[in-house]
Structure 1
């Protein structure tokens, strides 16, 4: 079965689909590529961490649910490829919310504890061995989270291209 847009005539899902898809793709891309880098540059590490710890649970829940809603509203005929892109995007949110964010939070808490008891640095100002190990672990987990987030956003982009391709067949 090919991915073809349903007739646009009386299908009332179409405008809602386009609005919600735009919000989903635009919102996730804007937060990831504009807002987060800006607040990272402007805030201290501690302030940035506090903001992100409040935003991320909501962001990841949106990343899970929004592609599913887009799928329910889609004007595309059933196509495993387009469904797969939306599922991949939701899976990214699931991994981030239930695996990567909790692990990164634990590691951030451990780093904060070292800082609070002044065991985060050696006498020469370099990170202590324990802090260096935590920083390395955090970098690894955060890197995986970032990669999963990029895959989630890219999946939404591929879905949008599939949608545009279906629209171009209507001409």
Structure 2
């Protein structure tokens, strides 16, 4: 392969996309969110999260699609093809299709369903805080309405966190598969 032909190969774009995809997840999950929670007041933390999550879940949703489109197949004529055909190739079912599909579905559920639902509950909690004269996070006792909203928020947040973890694990599994091709 000549020097200029690498620019026309999917491989460098795929590796850069994978690095961005995994790096974004690791940074947000283990550094950004934890640090922000520790240093910001709760209301400011919520504002930051509401601004970051659409981008973050968008990356979690778009990343697997970009990885599928840039999937670098084998160079030989009889090898696994590049792009979507390679992702759906029978030999790639467990190491490529399942991890990328898992990450895509989890990211989309977070982006399209859980994020809007969580934002609705958060808005209801803010309204209830005004009515109760007490923050939703200030500790019990809570009004019956606030207790129900806090429970609903906790459930949505928990499911979202599990889906985020599933996406992260699927991304690492995919990376292990990808790195096995380097040997």
Taking structure 1 as the reference length, the TM-score comes to 0.85
Provide structure 2 residue ranges, at least 5 long, that are not aligned to the other structure: 74-79, 81-85, 87-91
Q: In the alignment, which of 134, 147, 170 is matched to residue 132 of structure 1?
A: 147
Instruction: Give distance in 2, aligned partners of 1:69 and 1:94.
Output: 14
Structure 2 contact 100–170 (Cα < 8 Å) conserved: yes
Deviation at 1:119, TM superposition (A): 5.2
Q: Which ranges in structure 1 are unaligned for 5 or more consecutive residues?
A: 1-6
The answer to whether the 8 Å contact 2:64/2:104 transfers is: yes
Alignment partner, residue 107 of structure 1: 121
Task: Give the aligned CA root-mean-square deviation in angstroms.
Answer: 2.2
Matches of 2:133 and 2:41, distance apart in 1: 20
Q: Aligned residues, how many? A: 160
Q: Structure 2 residue aligned with 1:61, among 58, 62, 66?
A: 58
In structure 2, the residue corresponding to 1:117 is in which secondary structure? helix
Q: Is residue 153 of structure 2 the alignment partner of residue 146 of structure 1?
A: no
Give me the whole-angstrom Cα distance separating, in 1, the residues matched to 2:32 and 2:144: 33
Instruction: Detail structure 1 runs of 4+ shifted over 4 Å in the superposition.
Output: 7-11
Aligned ranges 1:83-98 → 2 under 5 Å: 83-98=97-112
Match of 2:172 among 152, 157, 163: 157
Following superposition, the deviation at residue 102 of structure 1 comes to 1.1
Per the TM alignment, residue 34 of structure 1 is displaced from its structure 2 partner at its CA by 0.8
Matched, 1:52 2:49: yes
Contact (CA 8 Å) 2:132, 2:143: kept in 1 or not? Answer: no
Which residue is equivalent to 1:73? 70
| 1:34-45 to 2 correspondences below 5 Å | 34-45=31-42
Distance 1:8 1:26, change over 3 A: farther
Say which SS state the counterpart of residue 167 (structure 2) adopts.
helix
1:117 and 1:136 mapped to 2: Cα distance? 18
